Structure 1
Amino acid sequence: MKTLYSTLLCVLLTAVSYAQKETEKDTLNKKTTKLNEVIVTGNKNTDPVLTIVSNKYVENIVQPKNVADLFNNIIGFSSIKRGNYAIDPSFRASQYEQLNIQYDGGTKAMHACPNRMDPITTHIIPEEISKIEIIKGPYTVRYGATFGGVINMVTEKPNYLDYGLHGKISGGYESNGNSLVNMAQFQYIQEKYDIVANAGYRDFGNYEDGDGTEIPSSFRSTDYGVKVGYNFSDNQRLQAHWRQSFGRDVLHAALPMDTDYDNSSIISLDYKLDNIGKIIKSVNAKAYYSYVDHLMTNTNRPSFNMMEAASNVDAVTTGGKVELHWQPVESLNIFSGIDVLNVARDGNRERLVKMMNGNMLPEPMLFTDKVWQDSYINDLGVFTEAKYSVSPSTILTAGIRYDNVVSDIKDPEADFEAMYDLEKRTEHNISATVSVKKIVSDNFTLEAAYGRGVRSANMIERFINHFNVGQDPFEYVGNPNLNAEVNNQFEIGFKGYEPLKNGFDGFKYEASFYYSFFENYIAAVVDETLDRKFMPMALPQNAKVFRNLDEAYKTGFEAKAELDFLNDYFVKGEFAYVYAKNKDLNESLPLTPPFTTRFSAGVKKEKYWANLQYNLVSQQNNISESFGETTTNGYQTLDARIGINAFKNFTLGVAVLNVFDEAYNNHLNFSFTNQADFGRVPITEPGRNFSAFLQYRF
């Protein structure tokens, strides 16, 4: 690890030294500009197959449980739900580490819990996110190893020219669960420095589904963050960001245990030197550290009478990046850099067994199980991506990336060590991409892309040892010898706008079609030679072991059309479909969402807005039986929202969600696990829910 950081530091110092010399040479000749942002994020004019979505939580009038809720209304996305707190986004049937999820152009915080009770989406205030940038596949090499796409959640940036003290205070309420959300943000801006601070509190109760059944899903969380920036000059800025999140008493309906506490701390440093010289244009650097401390127990579960279990686990994520933007000729922009991502996890599960083989023990027996076996994965990446303007209307992008991935297990269990020849392992992964964007006219853009994205196995897939981490009741066993997954993805997309007359303002439309074939796809398969380790008399008798598949693919599309009329009114339709196939097992790949359609209509004026959204989700028969999936029925829901800017700086919104009180479950929802009053069926979603939101800005 020290070697990696020494390399990163050397590159940074060399780049800054050279950049400062270039700046000195060009100070008299080049006009500098005010630096407003620290991070290099997606650029809609150059990045391929890119979507930028503003976080309109004020207009949505929904109190997001965590950041994953912000994806609910983005076409192509679904949610993997284990309760109200442990929610992961899924995009085009890619999820978890198949998606490169980050904050502000690179900051990451990896989960400590093997059941993903604490995904990256739980460690930041949802209201702090101003926009979400999505690169829809492995079509860039600049933001880390990317398999299924990049999701960059950009935190809100103040107006750096609006000096003085400003801020906002907001509160929200939901009737279904008697839930409260509060948030306050303050900012103080001066020419040389700026300070932004925020704090939030969320208290969600158990909700009721459309049949009136109460779902155990309550939780409390407290978050705060401080961001401090200093401008050395008009083109040079340093920013530090510190945040902490504290989850308490979290109930997970679809997991075997609950969270007693989940504490996370994240610090990041960002540096940018802009407008440097004729060839070297800018230098960006980032470094970050995150720590997650997680405790889960089965205190409130039926299994507690037979066995008391408590798992105290932790995760440390460190990383950084240095990127140079250089322009050897006017039509060619090149981005070259180095990045680092290191993940280390450890922790044990303590089991106090009171009953064995149906008989109470005269004296309970204490066992200690190694959850993560003191493991780590380090990824050092080097990349170059070029953007060439073939003509004023055509941009060609090509990039290549090399990742050196080192993994090791330092404290293995005896049975895991007996299965494998354990030693430090090094992998060499090559990713590449090429795409072209053609601006056919002022109102029509066409783009095509190919990307080869490579993802090495994550820590669960490598090192988990007889733990229930899936949707089914099987024990899962890792495989440290897995080959890296490869996604060869092709995509073509277009977007356009047609101005209209006679009261119609315009017609907007866009669509994307894609096909991926996978190499070495990673999946857990039943091993009939390996018996379960814990509760050996229970079923299923065998365990699952992670393996590489030879043949798998997916294909699908997203489409959207919107008609604007009478200046302020609109009607819109959105469609998303994905089909995935595991040819080795002759079934679908797991967690493939059904065909989804949304229709919405509304009005948006300066003083008020209102809209209706009709959601149609089809039945999903294309399932992965080996993953424990079952066919899910289709459903239809209706949401209604209205908001008003009642007074100066005041915004009020009310909504009715699931107006018809539909009882349904999403296909990606996990099933009830270790619950007293529920069978092993997918958890259901909230029934009718009245929501209100109030915000004051000053």
Structure 2
Amino acid sequence: MKTLYGMLLCVLITNVSFSQETTETKKDTLKTVTILDEVIVTGNKKTDPVMTSVKNNYVEKIVQPKNVADLFNSINGFSVIKRGNYAIDPSFRASQYEQLNIQYDGGTKAMHACPNRMDPITTHIIPEDIARIEIIKGPYTVRYGATFSGVINMVTQKPDYEDYGIHGKVSAGYESNGNSIVNLAQLQYIKETFDIVAIAGYRDFGNYKDGNEVEIPSSFRSTDYGIKIGYNLSEDQRIQAHWRQSFGRDVLHAALPMDTEYDNSSIISLDYKLNNIGRIVKSFTAKTYYSYVDHLMSNSNRPSFMMMEASSAVDATTIGGKLELNWKPFSKLNMFTGLDAIHISRDGSRTRLVKVMNGNVLPTPMTFNDKVWQNSYITDLGLFTEAKYNLSSSTIFTAGIRYDQVVSDIQDPEDDFAAMYDLKKRTEHNISGTVSIKKSVSDNFIIEAAYGRGVRSANMIERFINHFNAGQDPYEYIGNPNLKAEVNNQFEIGFNGNKNFKNGINAFKYGASFYYSLFENYIVGIIDPAISRKFNPMAQPTNVKVFQNLDEAYKTGFEAMFQVDFLKDYYYKTEVSYVYAKNKDLAESLPLTPPLTTRLTIGFDKNNYWANLQYNVVSKQDDISRSFGEIETDGYQTLDFRLGLTPIKNITLGLAVINIFDEAYNNHLNFSFTNQENFDRTPITEPGRNFSVFLHYKF
């Protein structure tokens, strides 16, 4: 069995690919070109998962240079977890980190190396290279890896297959708050059988000021480039390789104990698709990918440097892939069957030069070396099948089941960690699944209902971290290699529709989703009064937190939207989202639960220019997780203005004023200032008024 498993994993890693769901055909005057898509949501109700949404038009509508995670701020139901201006994670319906299945281009992943998530997956790609973001709102598909609370697929720019030859674009942006600049250049060469796309970007962000004119340490620089090469083997076959690197430098993290000296990442992926195979077997897809993150952090610019010099060099390797067959035994049944794998390994250490101990200056500083990841790994091998059955021309039933074998091991444990647990290689067996139904009541109204059982085995921090700060609070955290897998039993019903009018009002669009999740074995860090902190033992708090499973936790909530289009080019839109979460074991909310959020937008969209005014209303959050170190946050309101125009063909100019009234506020999910001079341990504040300009030229 062990030999068979190793052979299967080896085949996966060296030969496979993540699924590309559809093949699209476009024509020029000479030849038909087969395009390998990298999307999950294709606009086809018979193949798309239920409970999906797509946010796109970033190229056309972008006017404010952003980090990738900031793109989620405009998507209903999303918030961001902020530790500075660089280390930003998306949060959806109070789920975050590995609870969300975040990927690029239909499957590529790059896991962070830093235990404080200074380098989440959103830092390893150029924001302006994101063409669209696709969301599956829960564990309602089994085809894209183990999924606990939803899938996020960030699709990068593709070549313009409508026109052969050399084409490209250049863009530049500036933000007044921080004197920040961004630059981007892309060049593509398209021929009948092959295409090449090259992209490069540079970003230099300074410290921003909040609404009280307080400067927040948040500067960073990053340089990125990528090359995508595709070759059409035939009209029905395509192979594609994608290589990208990102280099972060001198990154300040206002809410983390150290800063990033450098963060280097390399990602390569290889995709293959064969279409129109036969009468029953329709297509075959394959993907493999590899990513490596090399990260160095230190406290050289922090107050603690006078007492202790600390630097930590860590790395993370991610290898994965997928094989999938699409087959139709008969006309009403569409099936997807396959296997996938992901292997995550991390290592690295922290070096401390202690100058002061127990309040006394040491005559000779002492050097210590702490194992951060203890040379650990997690490997997940998954098997799945998903079937879509047409109950009628307007009703589709979907059912899927998935099995994951999760193997984890720690190969170089610290002595104190080894003394706590009986450490040995561990194998888990997880079963997840989903059933759903989608009904087109009419051409203008669709209703969906779904149940999903999402299963997530503990991540590496929850398993193997040893006396490190890994949360929002000042506690040291200790992992638990014996944690049970989290289970999310999620139920959801949703609908969307539109109605066309005349005489001033063009259309009325609306939609809503209501969900309930019952959690089993929910993983949280809980104070252990029997264990004292290991580093700086005189500091408060003196105890530590150990990751444990809880039995009773749940969340419920909704998102709703309606939009009125009027006077041909004008619109008004309202979006509302709310989450209520409860940890019944500790009689408090689950951590990182956002408050009620409302967005009101009015604007117009004409051929050569567009503009909108967005009013953001965020309520007070007093339902908090005190065990996580949260404090109550006040509500706030901000107003943003964006304008875009095309004064000359192929030139787009964007202007924006963000936080027009210079509001001083902090988001509830923001972490608190840590190890910062002149800052108390309070949540970091957001930027004040910010003017930005963005210029885009396409040729």
TM-score, length of structure 1 as denominator length = 0.96
Deviations 1:510-535 (A, max 9, x none): 00000000000000000000110001
- What are the residue-to-residue correspondences of 1:351-500 with 2, within 5 Å? 351-500=352-501
Gaps (5+ residues) in structure 2? 18-30
Q: Secondary structure at the match of 1:496?
A: strand
**Distance of aligned partners of 1:577 and 1:386 in 2 relative to their CA distance in 1, 3 Å threshold:** same
Does the 8 Å contact 1:511/1:560 carry over to 2? Answer: yes
What is the CA-CA distance between 1:36 and the residue it aligns to? Answer: 1.2
Deviations 1:250-296 (A, max 9, x none): 00000000000000000000000011111000000000000000000
Give the aligned partner of residue 51 of structure 2. Answer: 49
Give the aligned partner of residue 308 of structure 1. Answer: 309
Q: Secondary structure at the match of 1:421?
A: coil
**Distance of aligned partners of 1:625 and 1:138 in 2 relative to their CA distance in 1, 3 Å threshold:** same
What is the CA-CA distance between 1:34 and the residue it aligns to? Answer: 3.9
Letter in structure 1 aligned against 2:358: N
CA–CA separation in structure 2 for the residues paired with 1:695 and 1:5 = 49
Letter in structure 2 aligned against 1:207: Y
Deviations 1:97-147 (A, max 9, x none): 000000011100000000000000000111111111100000000000000
CA–CA separation in structure 2 for the residues paired with 1:55 and 1:417 = 51
Letter in structure 2 aligned against 1:203: D
- What are the residue-to-residue correspondences of 1:84-163 with 2, within 5 Å? 84-163=85-164
Q: Secondary structure at the match of 2:74?
A: coil
**Distance of aligned partners of 1:371 and 1:11 in 2 relative to their CA distance in 1, 3 Å threshold:** closer
- After the TM superposition, which of the residue ranges 157-166 and 231-240 deviates more from structure 2? 157-166
**Distance of aligned partners of 1:12 and 1:358 in 2 relative to their CA distance in 1, 3 Å threshold:** closer
**Distance of aligned partners of 1:138 and 1:613 in 2 relative to their CA distance in 1, 3 Å threshold:** same
Does the 8 Å contact 1:161/1:189 carry over to 2? Answer: no
What is the CA-CA distance between 1:53 and the residue it aligns to? Answer: 1.1
Does the 8 Å contact 2:159/2:195 carry over to 1? Answer: no
Q: Secondary structure at the match of 1:373?
A: coil
**Distance of aligned partners of 1:623 and 1:107 in 2 relative to their CA distance in 1, 3 Å threshold:** same
Letter in structure 2 aligned against 1:667: H
CA–CA separation in structure 1 for the residues paired with 2:155 and 2:184 = 18
CA–CA separation in structure 2 for the residues paired with 1:60 and 1:125 = 13
CA–CA separation in structure 1 for the residues paired with 2:655 and 2:666 = 25
CA–CA separation in structure 2 for the residues paired with 1:459 and 1:56 = 34
Q: Secondary structure at the match of 1:35?
A: strand
Give the aligned partner of residue 260 of structure 1. Answer: 261
CA–CA separation in structure 2 for the residues paired with 1:229 and 1:626 = 51
CA–CA separation in structure 2 for the residues paired with 1:14 and 1:171 = 39
Letter in structure 1 aligned against 2:333: L
Confirm or deny that 1:339 pairs with 2:340: yes
Give the aligned partner of residue 630 of structure 1. Answer: 631
Does the 8 Å contact 1:266/1:290 carry over to 2? Answer: yes
Give the aligned partner of residue 79 of structure 1. Answer: 80
Q: Secondary structure at the match of 2:38?
A: coil
What is the CA-CA distance between 1:13 and the residue it aligns to? Answer: 11
Give the aligned partner of residue 595 of structure 1. Answer: 596
Does the 8 Å contact 1:551/1:583 carry over to 2? Answer: yes
Does the 8 Å contact 2:269/2:288 carry over to 1? Answer: yes
Does the 8 Å contact 1:434/1:449 carry over to 2? Answer: yes
CA–CA separation in structure 2 for the residues paired with 1:253 and 1:614 = 27
Runs of 4+ in 1 over 4 A off after TM superposition: 1-5, 8-16
Give the aligned partner of residue 170 of structure 2. Answer: 169
**Distance of aligned partners of 1:240 and 1:481 in 2 relative to their CA distance in 1, 3 Å threshold:** same
CA–CA separation in structure 2 for the residues paired with 1:2 and 1:215 = 54
Q: Root-mean-square deviation (CA), in Å?
A: 1.5
Give the aligned partner of residue 39 of structure 1. Answer: 38
CA–CA separation in structure 2 for the residues paired with 1:116 and 1:258 = 12
Letter in structure 2 aligned against 1:514: Y
CA–CA separation in structure 1 for the residues paired with 2:274 and 2:401 = 24
CA–CA separation in structure 2 for the residues paired with 1:489 and 1:13 = 35
Count of residue pairs the alignment pairs up: 682
**Distance of aligned partners of 1:587 and 1:12 in 2 relative to their CA distance in 1, 3 Å threshold:** closer
What is the CA-CA distance between 1:373 and the residue it aligns to? Answer: 0.1
Does the 8 Å contact 1:386/1:397 carry over to 2? Answer: yes
What is the CA-CA distance between 1:58 and the residue it aligns to? Answer: 4.3
Give the aligned partner of residue 180 of structure 1. Answer: 181
Deviations 1:613-646 (A, max 9, x none): 0000000011000000000000000001111101
Q: Secondary structure at the match of 1:72?
A: helix
Give the aligned partner of residue 552 of structure 2. Answer: 551
**Distance of aligned partners of 1:349 and 1:244 in 2 relative to their CA distance in 1, 3 Å threshold:** same
- What are the residue-to-residue correspondences of 1:12-23 with 2, within 5 Å? none
CA–CA separation in structure 1 for the residues paired with 2:3 and 2:346 = 18
Q: Secondary structure at the match of 1:646?
A: strand
Does the 8 Å contact 1:129/1:156 carry over to 2? Answer: yes
Does the 8 Å contact 1:38/1:272 carry over to 2? Answer: no
Does the 8 Å contact 1:398/1:432 carry over to 2? Answer: yes
Does the 8 Å contact 1:317/1:344 carry over to 2? Answer: yes
TM-score, length of structure 2 as denominator length = 0.96
Give the aligned partner of residue 231 of structure 2. Answer: 230
What is the CA-CA distance between 1:9 and the residue it aligns to? Answer: 6.6
CA–CA separation in structure 1 for the residues paired with 2:39 and 2:71 = 22
Letter in structure 2 aligned against 1:600: T
Does the 8 Å contact 1:136/1:148 carry over to 2? Answer: yes
Does the 8 Å contact 1:60/1:641 carry over to 2? Answer: no
Give the aligned partner of residue 24 of structure 1. Answer: none
Letter in structure 1 aligned against 2:145: G
CA–CA separation in structure 2 for the residues paired with 1:293 and 1:58 = 34
**Distance of aligned partners of 1:59 and 1:40 in 2 relative to their CA distance in 1, 3 Å threshold:** closer
What is the CA-CA distance between 1:41 and the residue it aligns to? Answer: 2.1
**Distance of aligned partners of 1:662 and 1:300 in 2 relative to their CA distance in 1, 3 Å threshold:** same
Give the aligned partner of residue 28 of structure 1. Answer: none
Letter in structure 2 aligned against 1:626: S
Give the aligned partner of residue 27 of structure 2. Answer: none
**Distance of aligned partners of 1:638 and 1:285 in 2 relative to their CA distance in 1, 3 Å threshold:** same
Q: Secondary structure at the match of 2:523?
A: strand
Deviations 1:286-330 (A, max 9, x none): 000000000000000000000000000000000000000000001
Give the aligned partner of residue 197 of structure 2. Answer: 196
Deviations 1:3-58 (A, max 9, x none): 65732576899999xxxxxxxxxxxxxxx974212436234413111111104254
Does the 8 Å contact 1:78/1:593 carry over to 2? Answer: yes
Q: Secondary structure at the match of 2:35?
A: coil
Q: Secondary structure at the match of 1:645?
A: strand
Does the 8 Å contact 1:254/1:672 carry over to 2? Answer: yes
Does the 8 Å contact 1:516/1:554 carry over to 2? Answer: yes
